[in-house]
Structure 1
Amino acid sequence: MGSSMDFIKSLDPDMSIKILMCLDDPSDLDRVSSVSRFWRHFEVGSSYLMKWEALQRDHRVYAYLARASISSAIGDCISEAYGASSTDHYPEESIDNTLEPRVIVAQRASYWSSKGQSNPDVSESLFYKLVNDFCVINEIKIQPFQDFFEMGYPIYSAKSVRFKMGHPKTSRDVKADLMCKSSHVSADDQFIWTYTSQEFPMAQENRLQKFKLPEPVLCIGGFLQIELLGRVLRHEMDGLFYICVSHVQVVGRSLSPAFGVEILEPSGKFVLKNDRLLRCPTQSSLSANEPNAVSADYFQRRVRDLQHIVNLSQGNLEVIEPLEWDGEEDEDADFEEEYAM
């Protein structure tokens, strides 16, 4: 015991089987494996314990993801303004102006303006590309535009706002449609939204208003839609309702370069990519001096025996075919570099 020797190495396979048959519950197999490298190798052949290894793998993935989600720096996560549902005068009043924190640029007001509507219930949408396809978003800040050149200095805010995050259906749609900021953008045609927030009331005030999400949101795909719901003021010249925005900020954390994400079409599943995770050593209670490999015949025989015991303990009587094993792979070599989410 003092030298951390694996005592199972000195037992015959029959003796190992007798010991394992004394276990009352299949979950005890995992506890047994913690004291022997050889018995831990047995787990590879069991469907039950294969699931346990998958859970351990997922635990490593999500633990590392959680650590990255709270350790990276918080900042503005907008990369580019991609489009608006409408624009009154393009490009003078385009969505690009909302990325500029200054109110006056080149001796003129900097803001985005929607087209005028006679119906105050018509909504508008602003679309932004985030700095990475994998971000954690905490809050969105929006500053309505106040027109200092009109009598009474009106503020063209929306009644309320709502936020959606997701990814485009195809990259071709994004390049062909969203980059044309003067055209009408149909969100339903272009995007798949994986998150939709509640509605937040917007104050008719000339300040950068904070809309904090109930909890941090993992944006997969890197696109944000800001829905501006309802109109407040008519323009004194044409009597139409407008919504105007001076500045937008998206506060959160970028998980790049630690993580990347790939969207699998048409299934809609996501693949989480991370190379550093697999380089991290796994925890082990075994001595570092113990051998890392066993002979192929010896290992295959023990795997077959343990498979039979596991099935008996679970009440399954079907015949289990022996697994193939080359005896040369590293114990962590079966971990993929990509994890389906």
Structure 2
Amino acid sequence: MEICMDFLSCLDHDTSMKILMYLEDPSDLVRAGSVSRSWRDFVIANGLCKQLCLSMFPHLLRVDCVIEPSCVKEKASEVGCSKYVEWETLKREHKAYAFLAQGCLSFPFEECIKDAISASSTDNYPEESIRNTLQPGNRYWSSKGQRKAAVPETLVYKLVADICVITEINIQPFQAYFQYGSPIYSAESVRFRLGHPKCPMDDTLSEPLDDSSDDKFIWTYSSSEFPMAQKSCLQNFKLPEPVVCIGGILQIELLRRVQRQEMDGLFYICVAHVQVKGRPLSSAFGVEMLGPSGKFVLKAKSSTPPSLPEDASCRDVHLHGLVDSGQMVNLLGGEVLIEYDRNSEDDEAADEMDDELPF
């Protein structure tokens, strides 16, 4: 312990990268970047937080660039140094991706549906509108009747944020107690799609439409089929792994009809309630879609985390306030308070680096 050695300075670049890439928690990478200035520069210069975030959530590979709308400093125009501009970009991405990865893992779970956009068909509008599925109760959405059981239906919803990490969808089929035998109008199976509009949508949505909507949205994720039980309860469909929805649109595909209505002999699908569980990141991030390319601009709007629920786990608490041996590394607040052990070479560069402290 009497001899201190920086192993990163003793190893080649590839070996150092391999070691640090074993860190699978964004808070660990932030701590690694807080060990010393040389470690901080290594983490930022090699985009380790970005690489970790993209490996965890591959849909974020469509990020074209990261911007901070609230940032008004433009030192690059004064300095005119391409290396400075590149370094500022790397620092901005380091902070944004570290916070984004952290938020995807530790923001509180919430109900993620904001409103209903459309249903592929509605039997009696507005009495049986898709909007009836937003709240539990006695009302419901009903499709039009079909002679063929194979005809599918789709329900499209707007989520509460442009970026949401979706983990599960819950659907309750409707049971018609007012009909003989109290039939349950479930589908045989369901499938989920996540995506974004081809054109910008207003925040205030109009009345839901009868429309399949495939020509209005670009779907970037499609799940496998989940079997649906013919039971009048809130049925849970958990995705195999959390999925980042970029663009805030969910489509529920209801595949194959099960129940025929006795009075007309037609097949129907009816849904009483829909829930979507996940982590909305609206307080921290926004997106700007870049046309049909599927690429988007990630807007880092804020670095202040939402309040955690009272029953949050210890892991979540440590992710939001990174505390280590009395040292507060407040990633979400945008500051890192660190006292470095400097040698003589560090002292010479200290003044030049003061404005480049992490975050």
TM-score (norm 1): 0.66
Correspondence for 2:165 among 132, 136, 147: 136
Structure 2 unmatched ranges of 5 or more: 1-9, 18-35, 47-80, 304-331
Look up the equivalent residue of 2:122 and give its one-letter code.
T
Whether 2:284 is the aligned partner of 1:247: answer no
Query: In the alignment, which residue of structure 1 is the partner of 2:307?
Result: none
CA distance 1:235–1:37, shift in 2 (3 Å): closer
Q: Which amino acid aligns with 1:85?
A: S
Question: RMSD value over aligned CA atoms?
Answer: 4.0
1:215-254 matches, within 5 Å, as: 215-254=241-280
Aligned length: 264
Choose 1 or 2 for highest CA Rg. Answer: 1
Moved more, 54-63 or 265-274: 54-63
Which SS does the other structure have where 1:171 is aligned?
A: coil
Q: Taking structure 1 as reference, are residues 212 and 24 closer, same or farther at Cα in structure 2, changes over 3 Å only? A: closer
TM-aligned CA deviation for residue 280 of structure 1: 3.4
- Amino acid corresponding to residue 251 of structure 1 in structure 2: K
Other structure's SS at 2:351 match:
coil
Check conservation: 1:35, 1:285, Cα contact below 8 A.
no
Aligned position for 2:114: 79
2:227 alignment counterpart: 201
Matched, 1:118 2:147: yes
Amino acid at match of 1:211: F
Distance of aligned partners of 1:190 and 1:282 in 2 relative to their CA distance in 1, 3 Å threshold? farther
Give the conservation status (yes or no) of the 8 Å contact 2:119–2:154.
yes
Q: Deviations over 1:49-107 (max 9, x none)?
A: 9989977764543322121123222121111111101000000000010012122xxxx
- Tell whether 2:129 aligns with 1:94: yes
How do residues 297-316 of structure 1 correspond to structure 2 at under 5 angstroms?
none
- Structure 1 unaligned runs (5+)? 1-22, 104-109, 295-328, 336-341
CA distance in 2, matches of 1:141, 1:38: 45
Do the aligned partners of residues 171 and 28 (structure 1) sit closer, same or farther apart at CA in structure 2, a change above 3 Å counting? closer
Deviations 1:25-53 (A, max 9, x none): 677999xx9569999xx99x999x99899
Mapped partners of 2:15, 2:37: distance in 1? 10
Aligned to 2:335: 280
Contact 2:193 2:219 (C-alpha < 8 Å) held by counterparts: yes
CA distance in 2, matches of 1:270, 1:136: 17
Q: Could you tell me which amino acid in structure 2 is paired with residue 70 of structure 1?
A: L
* Deviation of 1:278 (Å): 9.2
Aligned identity (percent) is: 56
Which deviates further from its counterpart, 218-227 or 257-266? 257-266
